[in-house]
Amino acid sequence: MVDIGGGEGRFTCEMLNEIGTVPRSIHVVEPSDENVEEYCKRITTQFPSIQAVEPCRGGIEAFVDKLPTGPVYLASHSLYRVCDHDERGRSEIVRKLVQKGSAGQLLIVMASRQSQAYTVKHMVRTGVLKRGDPSTFGEDIRELIPKGYRVSWEIRDSFMDLRVPLRDGELMIAWLSYFCRIDALHLRPHIATLRKILIDATILKRQLPQMVQSWIEGVSTRAGRTTDDATPILFHKEVVIRVSSAN
């Protein structure tokens, strides 16, 4: 498997559980040494049958031409940095990913326009900071898939556990800085407003229907995490695009 933008491996573990197929080895593209270390530990602990995790330290632009073809290509959060700021590069990266990954199956997972979490991002960027919001969504990427390939897509329900961001002001600023792609210096003067936005957008797990609570617990357990009744939940939706050769 080739995992582009592996982070700490949490999302990859979720997707491997959903796919139901565990690869023998993974090439992971990830610029952070700290994340690579955590990724390798998490993946090999949860999936001991994986024989090797080979890190490629850098951004997607540097590696997309060098990566091997594989039975599964997973591309998600790493695409935002390119797609949100470079429209021409966005089309080129998607074209190259399709060429590489469609020999087996290419999975592209990105936020949906229906995501409540991205409504928060939009409010922070445009409402609080009076800036534009260049966010790219899965619906946009779907339109960039070249013709001649077999393409299917679906909306995937997800959620974010905001216990850590809501526990401490600086942790909240750090999380929002990463999520909204805004320097923390610009966020700190608005800390009270930002906290209210997050509190208003979340719901405590115990306030949800039992069926939804059970779903959250199941997703968390498979990802090696836990939740409690007071966990603040921010709901999220993602577009999952599957691309394969038409032959």
Instruction: Look at residue 175 and tell me if it is in a domain.
Output: yes
**What is the structure's pLDDT at 244?**
86
Res. 71 pLDDT band, cuts 50 70 90? low
Residue 194 tokens, joined:
């930002």
State whether residue 4 is helix, strand or coil.
Answer: strand
Residues 6+ apart with CB under 8 A from 126: 132, 133
The pLDDT assigned to 95 comes to: 83
Instruction: Give the relative orientation of helices 10-19 and 33-46 as an angle to the nearest 10 degrees.
Output: 30
User: Can you give the pLDDT at residue 84?
Assistant: 59
**CA count, 13 A, side-chain hemisphere, 54:** 9
Tokens 């949860």: give the residue: 46
Is a pLDDT exceeding 80 seen at residue 80? no
Q: Structure tokens of 188?
A: 């700190």
Instruction: Say what the alpha-carbon torsion angle 199, 203, 204, 205 is, to the nearest 10 degrees.
Output: -150
Residue 63's pLDDT is: 61
Residues 242, 239: Cα–Cα separation, whole Å: 10
Count of structural domains, the chain: 1
Spatial separation of the C-alpha atoms in residues 35 and 40, rounded to whole Å: 9
Percent of the chain scored above 70 by pLDDT? 88
Determine, yes or no, domain membership for 152. yes
Residue 61 has pLDDT above 70, yes or no: no
For 182, the domain range is 69-245
Asked if the structure places residue 49 within a domain, the reply is no
pLDDT in tens, 100-148: 776 777 888 889 999 999 999 999 999 999 998 888 899 988 988 988 8
Evaluate whether residue 10 is within a structural domain: no
Q: Give the pTM.
A: 0.82
Whether residue 28 lies inside any domain: the answer is no
Q: Is residue 47 part of a domain?
A: no
Q: Is the pLDDT of residue 64 over 70?
A: no
Say whether pLDDT at 153 is over 70.
yes
Element (H, E) at 83: helix 79-83
Confirm whether 8 is domain-assigned: no
Encode 163-181 in three state secondary structure.
HHHHHCHHHHHHHHHHHHC
